[in-house]
């Protein structure tokens, strides 16, 4: 086995776990789930069939990822973050053919207890604050807070707040990378 599995974790036959990944206490990975290399799945995490985690993802304690959730590389899912996959669930109505796709792009961070309503795309390196309720798509590098989510500003790839000057330019204090605003959206200045 090229990954670590705690003795209380359940990994169903048909799940794919990447090299160097770690699955901790009381977690359950369903058949058809795909986890890339070097993922860290915390305690009491549920990952449904057909969920995809890219390389280097971190899923903190008490997160349930339902069918339809796709995380690209280096995504961070904070403790007790909530994901859905049906807009109008009813116990007595079967809606498995109505699951919506939720795409979490590379480098996105989702804070503790945030709720992500299904069918949205969270942009590259976007930052979703703790307790935020996301109901709509989020642009790359956007800092989102509140219920419903609203944009508070921009974040760098290093997770530092970006302050744009009057010419639409900002520099990350941690990495020194430069960013520009193009049509009101932050981009890495190449």
CATH at residue 135: 2.160.10.10
β-bridge partners, 133: 115
Q: Which tens digit of pLDDT belongs to each residue from 14-46?
A: 999 999 999 999 999 999 999 999 999 999 999
Is residue 68 domain-resident?
Answer: yes
Is residue 175 domain-resident?
Answer: no
Contact between 122 and 135 under an 8 Å Cβ cutoff? The reply is no
Q: Which tens digit of pLDDT belongs to each residue from 73-97?
A: 999 999 999 999 999 999 999 998 9
- Token duo for residue 146: 């509140």
User: In the chain, how many domains are there?
Assistant: 1
Q: Look at the alpha carbons of 69, 91, 31, 42 in this order and tell me if their dihedral is positive or negative.
A: positive
What domain range includes position 131?
4-161
Which residue bears the tokens 């090229």?
A: 2
b/e 161-175 (16+ beta carbons within 10 angstroms → b)? ebeeeeeeebbbeee
Is residue 190 domain-resident?
Answer: no
Q: What is the DSSP letter of 119?
A: T
Tell me the pLDDT band of 190, cut-offs 50, 70 and 90.
confident
CA angle at residue 78 from 136 to 145, to 5 degrees? 40
Is residue 74 domain-resident?
Answer: yes
**Predicted TM-score of the model (pTM):** 0.96
């Amino acid at each position: 086995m090229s990954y670590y599995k705690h003795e209380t974790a359940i990994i169903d036959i048909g799940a794919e776990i990447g090299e160097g990944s770690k699955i901790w206490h009381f977690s359950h990975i369903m058949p058809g789930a795909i986890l890339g290399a070097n993922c860290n799945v915390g305690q009491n995490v549920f990952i449904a069939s057909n969920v995809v985690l890219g390389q280097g993802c971190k899923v903190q304690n008490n997160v349930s990822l339902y069918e339809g959730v796709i995380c690209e590389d280096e995504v961070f899912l904070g403790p007790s973050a909530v994901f859905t996959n049906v807009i109008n669930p009813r116990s007595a109505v079967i809606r498995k053919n109505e699951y919506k796709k939720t795409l979490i792009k590379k480098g996105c961070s989702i804070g503790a207890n945030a709720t992500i309503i299904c069918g949205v795309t969270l942009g590259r390196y976007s930052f979703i604050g703790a307790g935020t309720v996301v109901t709509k798509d989020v642009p790359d590098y956007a800092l989102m807070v509140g219920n419903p989510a609203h944009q508070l500003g921009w974040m760098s790839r290093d997770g530092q707040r970006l302050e744009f000057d009057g010419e639409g330019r900002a520099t990350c204090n941690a990495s020194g990378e430069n960013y520009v605003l193009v049509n009101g959206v932050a981009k890495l200045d190449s």
